[in-house]
Chains A and B, each alone.
Chain A
Amino acid sequence: MTLLKDSGLAVGPGMRLPISGATTLLFAALIASGFLFPNHFALATQILVLMIFALSYDLLQGHAGIVSLGHAVFLGLGAYSSAILARAGLTDPLLGLAVGAAVPALIALVLSPIVVRGNDFTRLLVTLGVASLVYEAANRLRDLTGGADGLSDFEVAPLLGLFAFDFEGRTGFIYALATFFLVYLALWRVTNSPFGMALRGIRENARRMPAIGSPVARHLAVAYLLSGAVAGIAGALLAQTSRFASLDMLGFERSAEIVMVVTLGGNGHLAGVGIGAAAFGVVKDALSTVSPRYWQLGLGIVLMASVFLARGGIGGIIERLSRRRQP
């Protein structure tokens, strides 16, 4: 316990567990969705992946205040590493998940010195530039990544050696749901620790934090690494449950999409971001089958309006509602 305390991750005495109304509702809705829509396991799993990916980026943008236009790099790296591992014969899903988290974390560690320095504009450019580089690299390394065709010729062994991934996607859904819960709780713990507080301090004023003895660069590097690892988990999950890893998983559209999802969900509000991602996933699926052009037009208009109207996103609305209830 003392070790935990020293690491700055211990939960203090005054800290509530993450069982707020919104969180309970979110978890209940997720479990219920499995029973209510037994024919839509694949969509539900994809939405869970989007939610995990959004949570990972929220740590960076919502808590640490780093805007990135290349976060999908970590999603894609997670997807490719687990897929490549599976092709090599190591088909255990949990091992794939671990490697899918480790590889992006390593890349994030290498990249963090060039990302955490500089102002917002240089960060946008560096993340965009690095994302384009990784995209090009994945496109060129055809032997490893399958190029534009992607990777689909790999198997995934039964989960824990017991539950085979079925055609309906039930196992995949439960697997993704369990992963989401664990990620959510872990990130709740991290963001409510002194380390999480320090990140918010850096977001609010990066110049004053060193004055109170906070190692800004190191904190940001750790946040970047964690964020990359969680995004990698989302990617590995996506590749394993859809049996597919492709270039679009690390493309610009995914990166831009996640910036929108996190902002609409509410920066720095885990439950809000989770709900926002779920809502985004459902609406996108419904609208883009009707007409992708109108979906894009509507999305653009909502984004422009959100800057003026819904500051704080869904998380902000939840905050206001819960504050009104308990004056």
Chain B
Amino acid sequence: MSNVIAIIMDGVAYGMLLFLSAVGLSVTLGLMRFINLAHGAFAMGGGYLAVVLVDAGLPFLLSLPIVFLAIGAAGIAIERAGIRHLYRRTALEQVLFSIGLALALGALANLVFGPQQQAIQIPSLLSGRVTVLGLEIARYRLFLIGMGAATAITLVCLFEYTLFGARIRAAVDNRRAAEGIGIQVERLFAVTFGLGAGLAGLGGALSVEMLGLDPAFALKYLTILLMVVAIGGAGSIAGSLQAALVLGTVDALFKYFLPEAGGFVIFGLLVAVLLVRPSGLRGRAA
């Protein structure tokens, strides 16, 4: 029984990583209708930046906010330089541009850091295990769950209770009307894109310890990030969280108890959800 709970904790921690990395993708798709296949590359960039910072002697916990800000700024720069011209283009053009970006960034990572796996030094405070209610749980898993939960709460508050959030919701529901009442949708898009990229970078930095990091990271985790968005529904923060937790837990449970089923369950789940609810479980708009 305690075994099962440990596996579920593993799955929830994995789900939180997925949530952090996917929530930006969900918002860009819901708000800007932009299919960003390079989103995994932002996570990868965050991972590498964290590795570099920690290697340079910076404490792990201090490197996290720096990664968030740096990758967020990079996201805004890329949005202003290229992606904003593609909002009204076809899905195919968006896919090509973002796959190209993901490939180029992956190749760049390979040139700079080499093809090998990267490791990161996490502080002793976060390593090892801790006993909670008679259960042994890895501290880093608990830390991930805490980070994910804190981010989710912050984002929900930001989107539901602030003026910024109200503007974003207005722009999602009806862009023309939002522009008509003086909301600067262009600037909103850039800031939101940067926020999503920064969160993905944070997710990437946090996942080095659990999932590893190599130049193939961006494309390897792209599919599951897209699945989080598809199942959760584009533009929905709560939906992304639920979908990420479900996918993470299901994946962990099946990997442990029924490894032969492998990826089948996850992909089967995706196809089934899309058949029944093409716009996701909590989709606002498709």
Question: Which residues on A are within 8 Å of B, measured CB to CB?
Answer: 61, 67, 69, 114, 117-122, 124-126, 128-130, 132-133, 136-137, 139-140, 252, 256, 259-260, 263, 267, 293-294, 296-297, 299-304, 306-308
Q: Give the one of A128, A299, A307 with max B CB within 10 A.
A: A307
Q: Which residue of B lies closest to A300 (CB)?
A: B104
Determine if A301 and B274 form an interchain contact, defined as CB atoms under 8 angstroms apart.
no
**Cβ distance A5 to chain B, nearest Cβ, rounded Å:** 34
Q: Kindly state the separation between the CA atoms of A68 and B103 in the bound complex, as whole angstroms.
A: 18
| Cβ-based interface call for B122 (8 A) | no
| Cβ-based interface call for B237 (8 A) | no
**Cβ distance A282 to chain B, nearest Cβ, rounded Å:** 19
Q: Kindly state the separation between the CA atoms of A296 and B99 in the bound complex, as whole angstroms.
A: 11
Complex interface: chain A residues within 8 A of B219 (CB): 252
| Cβ-based interface call for B54 (8 A) | no
**Cβ distance A295 to chain B, nearest Cβ, rounded Å:** 8
Beyond the given A120-B91, A304-B96, A307-B100, please list 15 additional residue pairs across the A-B interface where CB-CB is below 8 A.
A114-B271, A121-B35, A121-B91, A126-B271, A128-B223, A293-B111, A294-B107, A296-B103, A296-B106, A300-B101, A300-B103, A301-B100, A303-B96, A307-B93, A307-B97
Complex interface: chain B residues within 8 A of A302 (CB): 100
Determine if B274 and A126 form an interchain contact, defined as CB atoms under 8 angstroms apart.
yes
Q: Known interface pairs A121-B91, A124-B95, A125-B274. Does A136 touch B263 (Cβ–Cβ under 8 Å)? A: yes
Complex interface: chain B residues within 8 A of A117 (CB): 278
**Cβ distance B270 to chain A, nearest Cβ, rounded Å:** 4
Complex interface: chain B residues within 8 A of A67 (CB): 91-92, 95
Q: Kindly state the separation between the CA atoms of A130 and B264 in the bound complex, as whole angstroms.
A: 10
0/1 interface trace, chain B 134-176, chain A, CB 8 Å (1 if under): 0000000000000000000000000000000000000000000
Q: Kindly state the separation between the CA atoms of A132 and B220 in the bound complex, as whole angstroms.
A: 12
Determine if B275 and A121 form an interchain contact, defined as CB atoms under 8 angstroms apart.
no
Could you give 18 example pairs across A and B, Cβ below 8 Å? A61-B92, A67-B92, A69-B95, A126-B274, A133-B268, A140-B260, A267-B92, A294-B111, A296-B106, A297-B107, A297-B108, A299-B104, A300-B103, A301-B104, A303-B100, A304-B96, A307-B93, A307-B96
Complex interface: chain A residues within 8 A of B96 (CB): 259-260, 263, 303-304, 306-307
Q: Kindly state the separation between the CA atoms of A117 and B274 in the bound complex, as whole angstroms.
A: 10
Determine if A129 and B95 form an interchain contact, defined as CB atoms under 8 angstroms apart.
no
Determine if A300 and B105 form an interchain contact, defined as CB atoms under 8 angstroms apart.
yes
0/1 interface trace, chain B 260-286, chain A, CB 8 Å (1 if under): 101110011011001100110000001
Q: Kindly state the separation between the CA atoms of A126 and B277 in the bound complex, as whole angstroms.
A: 12
**Cβ distance A202 to chain B, nearest Cβ, rounded Å:** 14
Determine if B111 and A297 form an interchain contact, defined as CB atoms under 8 angstroms apart.
yes
Q: Known interface pairs A121-B29, A122-B274. Does A259 touch B100 (Cβ–Cβ under 8 Å)? A: no
Complex interface: chain A residues within 8 A of B268 (CB): 133
**Total chain B interface residues with beta-carbon distance under 8 A:** 44
Q: Kindly state the separation between the CA atoms of A119 and B105 in the bound complex, as whole angstroms.
A: 28
At the interface with chain A, which of B15-23, B82-90, B182-190?
Answer: B82-90
Determine if A300 and B260 form an interchain contact, defined as CB atoms under 8 angstroms apart.
no
Complex interface: chain B residues within 8 A of A263 (CB): 92, 96
Q: In the A-B complex, list the 7 residue pairs whose CB atoms are closest, starting with the nearest.
A: A303-B100, A300-B104, A120-B91, A300-B103, A297-B107, A296-B107, A304-B100
**Cβ distance B284 to chain A, nearest Cβ, rounded Å:** 13
Determine if B286 and A122 form an interchain contact, defined as CB atoms under 8 angstroms apart.
yes
Complex interface: chain A residues within 8 A of B111 (CB): 293-294, 297
Q: Known interface pairs A300-B103, A301-B104, A303-B97. Does A133 touch B278 (Cβ–Cβ under 8 Å)? A: no
Complex interface: chain A residues within 8 A of B117 (CB): none
**Cβ distance B104 to chain A, nearest Cβ, rounded Å:** 3
**Cβ distance B126 to chain A, nearest Cβ, rounded Å:** 33
Q: Kindly state the separation between the CA atoms of A40 and B82 in the bound complex, as whole angstroms.
A: 40
At the interface with chain A, which of B64-72, B226-234, B250-258?
Answer: B226-234
Determine if A125 and B270 form an interchain contact, defined as CB atoms under 8 angstroms apart.
yes
Q: Kindly state the separation between the CA atoms of A308 and B226 in the bound complex, as whole angstroms.
A: 25
Complex interface: chain A residues within 8 A of B271 (CB): 114, 126, 129-130, 133
Complex interface: chain B residues within 8 A of A306 (CB): 96, 100
Determine if A125 and B92 form an interchain contact, defined as CB atoms under 8 angstroms apart.
no
Complex interface: chain B residues within 8 A of A136 (CB): 262-264, 267
